[in-house]
Amino acid sequence: MTDISFVPTFKHLAWVDNRDRVAAGGQNGFNVRFDAIQKDLEKLSTVVGDIDTSIKTAGQHPAVPRLLSLAPAFVALPPSTAWSLNRYGVAVRHATSDSDVTGLLNVAPPDGARLVNFRATGQNSGAGSLAITLFRSPLTGTSSREPLAQITATGTFGDPVGITPGKDKVEMTAFRYFVTATLTGAVDGDSIDITSVQLTYIAD
C-alpha cells in the first residue's frame, strides 16, 4: 500500500504591530494567506479520504475459493442396485455383472456461499453411461429437484463443470442439496469407479 502523508504548505508569518498594514493583496496579504490555507484544507480532505479507504480495505477479506471434498458414500435408492464402497473408500459396483447402479449422496455446502464448480473423479472404461449430477430440492417439496451441474463421466474423468447460472447461491433455509450417480448399460468386465465428489465455493 502507498504511504499516506500530508505536508502543509501554509506557514504563518507573524504581523508586527505598528509596522505591517492589513492588506488584501501582496505576498503577505489576506488573499495569499487564505488561499494557501484553503489549498491545505482541500489536500487534507483528500488525505482523510485515502485513510478511510485504506482502513476499509484492510478490514476486508479477499474472496478465496474453498473446497468441499466428500467420500463417494452413495446410499441406495430402492429398487435400484446400490453402489458399494471398497476398502479404499472408492464407489464401485457390488458385482461386475451389475449393469445399472444408482445412489445418492447428501451434501451440505455453507449457507450463503456461492458455488463455483462441481467435480467428480474416477474412471469409466466401459460402454456404460455414467452421469453424476448435483441437485437442489425445495425443503417443502417431495417430488421436485433442480439440476445444478452434471458430469457425463467417460474414460478417466475429473474435470470440473460450472454451476447453472442463477442457481449458484447456497440457500440452506430453502433447499437441500445432493448428488446422484447413475450408471446404465454397463457390462461384465467394465472398469467403473468413483473416487471423490467435490464442490468449489466462495464464502463471504
Per the confidence metrics, is the pTM higher than 0.95?
A: no
The tens digit of pLDDT for each residue in 169-180 reads 999 999 999 999
Q: What is the mean pLDDT of residues 27-32?
A: 70
Contact residues for 166 (Cβ-Cβ < 8 A; gap 6+)? none
* Residues facing residue 179 across a β-bridge: 105, 134
Domain spanning 65-202, CATH architecture = Sandwich (2.60)
Alpha carbons 42 and 48: distance in angstroms, whole number:
10
The pLDDT of residue 5 is: 75
**Closest C-alpha to 164, from 131, 203, 198, 136:** 136
Average predicted confidence (pLDDT) for the chain: 88
- Can you give the residue ranges of every domain in the chain? 1-60, 65-202
The tens digit of pLDDT for each residue in 35-92 reads 777 887 888 788 888 887 777 776 666 778 999 999 999 999 988 899 999 999 999 9
Judged against a pLDDT cut of 70, whether residue 118 lies above it is answered with yes
The pLDDT of residue 196 is: 97
Alpha carbons 119 and 201: distance in angstroms, whole number:
12
The pLDDT of residue 126 is: 85
- Grid coordinates given for 170: 447456497
